[in-house]
Chains A and B, each alone.
Chain A
């Protein structure tokens, strides 16, 4: 099977969907002639031309809103935010328009829109550029949110997102763009709302999404080698819709859970998972559900400290050892 980068997997997904459906159109800052600030859209403008791939001014409110409006007309816009952190400039378009219009129209209007871009800390770009807004966006019914952790998932989820008839926000990660995974050549789709067991284990469940999945896999390896603890790593992949069954299945098997999340702890994705577990699997638990989140402060710049602010394999191991 070919081994490709997360970036290339996304690029392939976009190219395939641009080819398949002429209503797919790509919009964003530097996505065309510059080939994308992070090169996710590399070559697409050259290949598909001006009508399909558009460089926008630095006007997020306008071009995100344009995407929402164009989706009303039946286009399938894929709008890139250079960083998801910049969504806050377009928050009204994202939450009120993308999130509420279908409902307020009594279902008369569909919004087949994708907004995508990186949403992560860990690159020393300071607090304004390091937000992880999947929790606050998934908070809004009407919006779908996915956070792929591997190239395979990135491609399959992106293609599904583009074909979906609701707004889907794809949150990528600049620290993963250059990482490689096996990705089959033949076409595949990954349904939204289906989690993936990335590593089987019987002793404890590590439940994560996005890059926290990769951190959890490293922790699971340490736990196995140094402590003879076999952790299962469940990658949520999709935050909303959420694969509740997979979460409960894993917890019923291991009876212990540590939730790993790059969100800040308050109302993080992991907070929602914790409430589901305590409500629906209370009797299966042998220990309290614990979390490893980003340390609760705006993202610090200082490179060596920012490393500590995000979940690390060591912090996960420590949490696991406290209950296993």
Chain B
């Protein structure tokens, strides 16, 4: 088992020590962009009537995506569940393409075909965006397998929720990760609830959810999501283990979601008290805490923070405008992107009947 890093030393860990003020402010900017993007998307969901289906908001969890993904290099890859707008923006996807996807537009990251749960950007090493709980966990394994196979010194960060840890696919993946020494890092974003079910009502465990890794002889650690320095320091340890030794790790990051499970969570304030939500919003908000920290370090002024926030809000509004002005896919587009060979009209794509519309 991994020795637990002391929180107070997290800021001094080499990976944080070397950060420039600019970088630190950039992390704040990214978290604010995620928060503003989602607040804007929520408002549009409720007022425009142009966004359908689910909308799983990440507000409260921003430090996890921003902290962990800030460490990724060229050969590090990412795969996540459906609550991943934060990850998408953190890997560098634009607000425009993400907002347009929510609006079902042809300019969306998936051309309006995937929706809120299914964002993808392979050019940024971002492999989705997966709607089936736990379905991404074997994919993380496979991405890590591919990296190792090609001899690349990278790893795969695979995100899942505290409810997803009870899917069989995840357990099967842990076994293979350990057995074949694959450079995958499972990051459990423990926001304490899977829909309306608290962690205690869904999981049997000792110590914490990540500790289940012990049974597979996989290193694990527990991380406070409130502290971006700690998120980075501990994730970096896991990434070094993956890069240098090709060993997997399970990280559990304690965090909280402010909104309901999806926009239509009728019981959002029943399975947990409004006081609990308020407590996290006011005392444990990762953005406020980071902002305060940077002010304490003397590298950020309140005016600068406001400026960053305003810029994020303006960018989100602009993304809405972009989305609304973008065209819808054509009805004929329903049949593209199903088969690569057909799209490219290769001999293989021209042989035999592929579609059965009468």
Give the interface of A toward B (CB within 8 A): 29-30, 33-35, 37, 39, 55, 57-62, 85-86, 88-89, 123-129, 264-266, 290-291, 293, 295-298, 300-306, 308-309
Contacts and interface: CB of A to CB of B under 8 A. Distances in A.
A305 B197 contact: no
Interface of B: 50-54, 101, 104-105, 110, 112-118, 130-135, 163-164, 166-169, 194-197, 201-203, 266-267, 271, 328-329, 331, 333-335, 338, 355-358
B356 A34 contact: no
14 contacts: A29-B195, A30-B195, A37-B195, A86-B132, A123-B52, A124-B52, A126-B116, A128-B135, A293-B358, A296-B357, A297-B334, A301-B114, A306-B52, A309-B334
A65 B36 CA distance: 43
A202 to B, nearest CB: 25
B52 A303 contact: yes
A295 B54 CA distance: 22
Contacts of A30: 195-197
A190 to B, nearest CB: 31
Contacts of B166: 57-59, 62
A126 B267 CA distance: 24
Task: Classify the interface of chain A: helix, strand, loop or mixed.
Answer: loop
A85 B267 CA distance: 23
Closest 6 CB pairs of A and B: A124-B52, A302-B104, A301-B115, A302-B112, A124-B53, A303-B52
Contacts of A62: 166, 168
Contacts of B329: 300, 302, 305
Given A33-B196, A125-B131, A300-B112, 10 more contacts: A29-B197, A34-B195, A58-B163, A126-B117, A264-B356, A295-B334, A296-B357, A300-B334, A303-B53, A308-B334
A44 B130 CA distance: 32
A34 B268 CA distance: 10
A118 B334 CA distance: 24
Contact of B104 (A34, A298, A301): A301
B193 to A, nearest CB: 11
Contact of A300 (B113, B132, B163): B113
Most buried by A among B115, B131, B266, B335: B115
B169 A126 contact: no
A202 B357 CA distance: 27
